[in-house]
Structure formats: structure tokens, C-alpha cells
Structure 1
């Protein structure tokens, strides 16, 4: 191919490159650090010929979320800015409108929830080549917000007991230290402390280890504390208490059974005043009719006469019975 034939091709390529430029986004700091409550600038610059289709966008991926899953927190297009994210009231652009090569934003009143990745993206058709985005990591330093203490096990003489301390918040991760309150030294022999996990192991418990313990969670920005008390008891005392409780429960059970059976038997015993079929000696005989009275009198007289030889009082008794019967 001759030089004359290459000349038109070179002219076309030069014209096309003049129409389609490149977008270059620069993040001067890949990681920034700020303290909770302070303000911080997230830097981002770019180079391109801003046109009518120029778009600037910031995305935020909290914590360890991948930057690709970030959500939009700032958007600029056609002369209007939008701030759809939860940081809207605390987010500001350093250059408004951001069309002169500066896309930096600032965050005020930093919070632990601001930790994460921030992506700055510029789109300016027909400039499609180059680097159109950059990512930086924001770390917000904060003191521990609170500490919590608890015990794992029962404080019995001769056994081991672990006290555990934990904290919420705090960046960087706090370290833990224990103090035996009222002692001349922070810890006594037989106490083993783990400053990373926050545990305190008390071995071979004795009465001397009864008392209050304090845990302190701290980093370079501040600290938080919590207290816990233990009372070491002997195994014999614990067994005696358990035995006494069991004895009382058994006694109550036996009393309840006795009351139930007494009440049940009382309901089954018949009424002692019920006479049954016994014949009463003082019962009154039914009234006799005239014939029956005469017959009865004759029979009584005959009976009395026959019995006079053996009992002289029989006639009188018979007569009294007849008189009572007639009346």
C-alpha cells in the first residue's frame, strides 16, 4: 500500500479520536480514616470533556459488602444533584456543580455505620475509553460503646470458674483487662486473663476469691466497663441446701397425702345415729279395736293367771300395757 493510499485512513483515525475522548477517574487515597463525630473528605477527580450527557455517581457498600453490591448515595445529571441514600443530610459535594474535574464528596458527623467501600463513577458519552471509576475504603474509629460481664459456672470451693467480658462498638477492636476490686493487686495467683477474648479464669476457688470484679474494654479512643460479683460456697453447704429443699418438698407431699385420705375416709363412714333395724323397747303398740281388745284382755288374763305361780308382778305389767294400748 502506498503512502498516498494511507493518508485518507490516517485522517479518518485522527478525526475519530478527536470525537471520542477518554475518561480518567483518579482516587488519590485508596483508604481514609476518620474519628466518629468528625467530618471527612472522600477525594475523587476526573478528566474528560464534559458534555450534555455527563453523569457523576457515588455508591456505598457498608462493612464487608463487596463494592459491586453498593447502593447509590449521590447522582448528578443534567445540572441536578440527587442524594437518595441514608447519608443525604450529611453528604455534600466539594464542587457544585461537579463539572470541572472535581467529584469529591464530604461526610459530616461520622458514624460507625459509615464504615465501608465508596465508589466514584463518571460516565460521559461518547467518551467510553479509559478508567471511569475508582474505589476507596473508609474506616471510622470509635470507642467501645458498652461492656457486658457474665459468669460461666457455679462458684464452688475447689472448682474453676470463668468470667466473660464482651463489648459493643469500638474500632479498632478493644482489648480487655480485669481487676479484682478491693485487692492491692489487679489479679491474684490462680487468675488467668485473656485480653483478646475478654475471659478471666479463676482456678481452685476459695472464699478469698469472693468479691467484685471489673472488666475494662478499651482502645485508643476510649473505654467502657462492667462489674460482676461472685460468692464462693463450699460443696457441703450446697449439698445441705439441696437436701433441705428436697426434705421440705417430701414433707409437704406426705402431709397432702394424709389430708386427702383422712378426708376421703370421713366421707365413706356411715352416720352413727342411724338406728338400722333395731327394735325400740318403748315403742307404742297400735290401737286395738273392740273385739281385738276383748280378746286381748281375755288372753292377757289367761296368760296372767297361768303365770301367777311364777311371777306375781306379771298381771300388773300386762294390765299397764293394755291400758296404754287402749289410751
Structure 2
């Protein structure tokens, strides 16, 4: 192929009156390639232009009369080549090739015939393409990432970037250049996901091509040893989501024993640990811990078999709690401390005072910084919830809440209020007893009169005796 290009260029150069120069063009497969061809002339007459490709004949040509022709191989399907008429007046006869393919790579010639002069430009079009094998690999398997350049430029430099950052092959990654491409072979990890770009440099010019690699496996969490934060007594979800449509067989959850550092052995899962049944997707194997205890902290592992390979993802549960202590000499004050079982990712602590009114409306009060907080529990302004938020480099990691009603200072206030309430209750009880005694005496008198009225004769005798007694008393007063 190189010999043919050489002969093609040599013939063009040896033609009588011809001026020949070679130009390199690097283009990405699927893009538009522009092959330059410029000719300056003071004459107003139109030249004849012929674009041809080595071994394939005419691509496009225009006669002096203005008639245009396309080569038969370029007329199939959509017309992909054109030479814009708007550039003719400025002497620009560049050829545009849309949606270039790998087989478009090769040597092209632009021949401009004007009166007795002939100008010829040779353009080498090189097509760059990035490919993966396999296209969608599974984590843990091998993959080949290839940068194809057609035709391959001998002596070209090749660099790789991953997600706009230069990729430097590490131990275990083989990289080599062969006759037609540059290839890297490596073990697939989640970190290889993203946009791969091959940058080719040749003779002072640079071209590039990109492709996106989607790795199949456990996509959430995206990396091993991801920390999951929660508070004592709360529920927490351990994510374990496989790629869309990737259904693992024999999924297993394990808690790893902390004493085995290099090869962790599975231990016993907490009693409230259960696989989540809420998801309707078979590739979601997340699990839930319904009520977290301080001893539940540690590492957990999710695994599942996919295409004969066992995929795993480790997670670490970090449990948070608030410790309270009455170390202050001042009566009615308490010190709160935000405690986590692992603080390696924590960069800052923040205390937020949350208050609820009678209608249940939530309002946020003061915000204070620091791992510890000292507050006066006697003051009504400090009642409510105190939430400790802990932050990492990328924002909030989690929070834990403490209720002020659990403190001793509030118990003293409550006991004072209780003594006032007790005195009021005793007073009301005494009045109630007196009222009951009066009612009992009235009922007793009523019953006695009722029994007397049952005997009329006795009633007459009682009245007669009573009248006689009154009469004697009046007579004695008169004497």
C-alpha cells in the first residue's frame, strides 16, 4: 500500500509543469474530513479541478465549462463528497467528505488545470477510531482497547486520556503498537468506565478519536469500601445494584469479621438485617438493616454470580451516636459529643437546633460548629432537638439527633412544675370531700323526714306535743 502511494505521488510530481505538495489530514471516524486544495490565479477564467483517490479513480471533478461529475463508488447511497461552490472565487477547491469511514483512509490528489499550468496537491487522509473488545465487558474480565489509524502513520505518537485526564498504564496493563493500531490490554474495573480518547500526533499535526466504555457489573456503589453512614436506632439501606439487565444468580450478603485484615472471613449478620423486597428489578440486590445498633458497624459484602464469574462489592457501615455528660460544674448544663465509629472521611461537624411549635411546624434555630456542644438545659430556648451533622470533602455524610428532654436539667424543671400541680390537686380534693359530706348530711335528713311522713297519726301527735310545749313556754314568759 505504501509503495502504491509513493508511485502515485511520484507520477504526479513528474508530470510536466506540475507543482506537487503533500498534506496530512487526521480525522475521526464518523466525522467530516476536509481535504485542502488551494490555487491562486489572477485570471478570471475557471480552471478544471479533478479530485481522485489512489487505486480508486475519480472522486469528483469539475470541467472548465462548470459541469460536475462524481465517481461511481461515491454515488452509492447518500452523496458524501462535495466541493462548495462558494469557495471557488477565492481559489479554494477543498473537498469535504461527510461521515468518513475507515476505508476512506488513503491518498487523494487534487489536480487544478488552468490554461497551460497544472497544480497538484496530494493529501493523505488518516482515519482514527477507538474500539473495545468486548464492547460491554464485565468487571473482572479482560478487555482490549484499540486505537486504529488507517493508514497507520509510521513514527506517530499515541497518548490515551480517560474522562479528559491522561491515562498512564499501570502494572498489569500491556500496551503495544502494531502495524495498523495501538492496543492496551487490562483487567476490567469500575474505574475504566467513561470516555476513552486516543490522541495521535504525526508530523506536527494532531488528531483524536473517542468512544465511551460501559462496564457491566455492580454499578452501585460504584467502588469498593464505600462508607454508609447512619445513626443508632435508625434504619439503613445497603445498595447493591447490578448493571441494567444483568441478573445475578445466587446473591449473597455477608458481614466480614474485623480480625481478618487481608482475607476477611464472613461472620454473622445482625438480627434485623434482611434483603430488600421493595425493588421490582431483579438486578437490584440491595439489603436493609431495620434498627442499627452500635455493634453493627463494620464491613459488609454483597456478591452474585454473572456469566460464571462472582462479582463482589464491599461496604463499610459507620454508626453515629451522641454522648451526653454533666461534667460542667454549672448546674443545669450538659456537654454533647458527636461520636462516629470511623472518622477517616469526616472533615467538619455542625450542630443545628430544631424546634417544633404546637402545630408541629419545624423551625431551625442556631447553628454551631465543633464536635462537642455545651448547652444550658434550664433555658427554654434550648429545648427541642439538637442535630449533629458531619461533613466530608464532597458535602454532608450524615447526621444524628439528640432530644433535650432526656437530660437531667429538664427533669428538675419538671419536678418543680409537678410540685405546684400537686398542691393544686390536693386543694381541689379537699373541697370535693367537704362537698360530699354536705350532700351526705342532706340526704340523711331527707330520709328521716320521709320515714316520719309515712305515719299520719304519729305526725299529729308530734305536732300537738310541739304546740303544747310552745304554749307553756309563752305562759311562763308572761308570768
Q: Per the shorter chain, which TM-score range?
A: 0.3 to 0.5
**Structure (1/2) with the larger helix percentage:** 1
Question: Structure with the greater relative contact order (CA < 8 A, sep ≥ 6): 1 or 2?
Answer: 1
**Structure (1/2) with the larger strand percentage:** 2
Q: Which has the larger radius of gyration?
A: 1
What's the TM-score, normalizing by structure 1? 0.37
What's the TM-score, normalizing by structure 2? 0.27
